[in-house]
């Protein structure tokens, strides 16, 4: 039942390494979720008011920006409500 030398080595490495810290601090996630998702909602509404142009650069730009904000906002929202994705 003795642990193997590899086990003792990884245990020592784990103890000496720095504790995990996320890219974005978890305490900021609720605020980020709120800001990003309200921006997405606002941009989505703005998208619907845009004139219908033949070369839709403005529409594509707004849609792209809103999507990126939605992506990060939804991930932050999931983590805020307890579904840790």
Is residue 40 within 8 Å of residue 69, measured between CB atoms?
yes
- Per DSSP, the three-state class of 57 is helix
Tokens matching residue 22: 């996320």
- Per DSSP, the three-state class of 61 is helix
Out of 34, 35, 37, 74, name the contact with other proteins by CB under 8 A: 74
- Binding to other proteins (CB under 8 A) within 30-49 occurs at 40, 44, 47-48
In the complex, which residues of this chain contact other proteins (CB under 8 A)?
Answer: 1-4, 6-7, 10-11, 13-15, 17-24, 26, 29, 40, 44, 47-48, 52, 56, 59, 63-64, 66-68, 70-72, 74-76, 78-79, 82-85
């Amino acid at each position: 039942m003795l642990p193997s030398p590899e086990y003792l080595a990884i245990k020592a490495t784990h103890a000496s390494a720095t504790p995990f810290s996320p890219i974005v601090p978890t305490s900021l996630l609720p605020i980020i979720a709120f800001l990003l998702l309200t921006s997405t909602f606002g941009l989505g509404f703005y998208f619907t008011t845009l004139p219908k142009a033949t070369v839709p650069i403005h529409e594509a730009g707004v849609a792209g920006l809103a999507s990126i904000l939605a992506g990060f906002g939804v991930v932050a929202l999931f983590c805020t409500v307890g579904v840790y994705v």
